Amino acid sequence: MRRGARLNMTRLLLVLPRASFVIKGVPRVFQPFGPDRTVSATIGYLAARLRRHAEVDVFCEDFEPYGSLPSLPCERYDAVAVTANVCTAHRAYQIGDLFRGRGKTVIMGGIHPSVMPEEALGHCDCVVAGEAEDLVAGMCQDLSAGRLARVYRCGPKPDLKGIFCPDYSYFVDKFSPYGRRTFFLPVETSRGCVHACAFCSVKRFHETTRFRPVEEVVSEIRELKERHGMSLFSFVDNDLLLDRARTEELLRRLVPLKIRWGSFWSASVAEHLDLAGLAAASGCVFAAVGFESIDPAALRFLGKGAGRRSREEVLDAYTAIIAAFHRHGITTQANLVWVPDLEPSIERSAEFFHSRSVGFLVPAPLVPLPNAPLYRHFESNGMLKSERWWLAEDYARVVPVRWKTLSTKDVMNLTLSCLEDYHGFWRTLRRIAAAGANRRLRFLLVELTSLLSCWARRRLRLRSLDRFDP
């Protein structure tokens, strides 16, 4: 495009809000609830698409000095676009109010404004509901012409063929030379999910499961590797194993690229353990597995297929998954969803994964997302403390469900204690020693860093819990 023509393009500020709760004056790495300094796939793909139609600057709060957003010279922008999920909705609304107060047009998108458009419109001028690929061009034209609609809705879900290569220049420019060797660049190979987990909103948002052509995924990785000089990637699919044949083809095509990567896997990988060797050969170094629980009753409540098995069968399947990944030098992370009324203690699950040398544990109490089936269950049974719990000033300390067995404070306290104990000094050293030579030095160092972070968080936790609702 000619330089003169580009000067007349719409100028957008694209903002990724931080999570709602930050303790002022505390270093980032020691925040009890964050921050999330991972590279955002949403921002990368969206920036690449928007830059075909507008001049775009990116601002991600977790990568910028705390409190620096209000000082931005907003007069240079025609509009501010904010992407939000349920975890960042409250902060996104604050940002919308801030820039609208300065006379700027504010556009919101992402999964939460898509699900709650009327709520979001109280804090912005326009909501882009659904997947944005087919909406961006028309929205930018309408913005330039001064006829921006209140809501742009995605019709038929867009074909994933021909997606623009994401633009991660904002993030890479923030990295030190060391950071470029340790941060993962996200790559999307599919959208949607075949699983029907009752706590998750992905299936309802994307409606269908769609896949990108394997050749395009491989070409994108090559381009990102060449452009940024980075060889660490993360596949941000909800489950990399949605289609066995396609996953196997992708893994084989990755082998010559000489990259290292991580991804999310569901517990259904127990039926495809032979893929662990191929995954390792293709460069897999990290597997985050959605185990959710070791209790069949909790698994059934969460809508997980493993809930149909006996407890012994569940434990045997989980043990086999962990052993298969570890056998091939792949570090594992266990993601847990705690249902307090069905599992009086989350420590039992944590002990199971510790005894099998799982590197990382991510425990979280069940939180009902606004368009997930369990939200309606808790709402109809009068168990929600607040119908719109995500609007709380410090939502990260809010447990929105009235559990019968534990108080709000106890649920969060036990969850954080579980996280801190799991990544405590001696436990971490025991897992490292038990893991043996198959574990990668990079992730051993990460585990040692995580225990230092948890030590600091333990010292700060009382400051963050003293204002809990009982």
Give the tens place of pLDDT for each residue, 324-339: 999 998 989 999 999 9
Tens of pLDDT, residues 31-72: 544 445 688 999 999 999 999 999 999 999 988 887 888 888
Digitized pLDDT (tens) for each residue of the chain, 470 residues in all:
323 334 467 899 999 998 755 545 555 544 544 445 688 999 999 999 999 999 999 999 988 887 888 888 888 999 999 999 988 999 999 999 999 999 999 999 999 999 999 999 999 999 999 888 889 999 999 999 999 999 999 888 888 998 889 999 999 988 877 667 778 899 999 998 888 888 888 877 888 899 999 999 999 999 999 999 889 999 999 999 999 999 999 999 999 999 999 999 999 999 999 999 999 999 999 999 999 999 999 999 999 988 889 999 999 999 999 999 999 989 899 999 999 999 878 899 999 999 998 988 989 899 888 888 899 999 999 999 888 988 877 665 667 899 999 988 888 888 888 888 888 778 887 887 776 544 555 555 555 555 555 555 554 444 444 433 33
Last residue within a domain, chosen from 120, 153, 186: 153
- Asked if residue 11 and residue 59 are part of one domain, the reply reads yes
Domain check: are 276 and 327 in the same one? yes
Same domain? 440 vs 350: yes
Work out the angle at residue 34's Cα, subtended by the Cα atoms of residues 187 and 57, and round it to the nearest 5 degrees. 55
Whether 231 and 125 share a structural domain: no
CA 220, 221, 225 angle in degrees (round to 5)?
120
Find how far residue 268's CA is from the centre of its chain.
20
Domains in the chain, number: 2
Question: Residue 338 in contact with residue 363, Cβ under 8 Å?
Answer: yes
Closest CA to 186 of 135, 238, 247: 238
Among 153, 149, 162, CA closest to 130: 153
The answer to whether residue 58 is domain-embedded is yes
* Cis amide linkage into residue 340, ω under 30° from 0: no
CA 69 to CA 295: how far, in whole Å? Answer: 44
Say how far apart CA 128 and CA 143 lie, in whole Å. Answer: 13
124 shares its domain with 206 = no
| Residue closest to 168 by CA, chosen among 95, 229, 247 | 229
Neighbours of 407 (CB within 10 A): 15
Q: Which two tokens mark 375?
A: 């939200």
Q: Do residue 82 and residue 224 come from a single domain? A: no
Q: How many CA atoms within 13 Å lie on the side-chain side of 83?
A: 22
User: What SS3 state is found at 261?
Assistant: strand
Q: Which domain holds residue 67?
A: 3-153
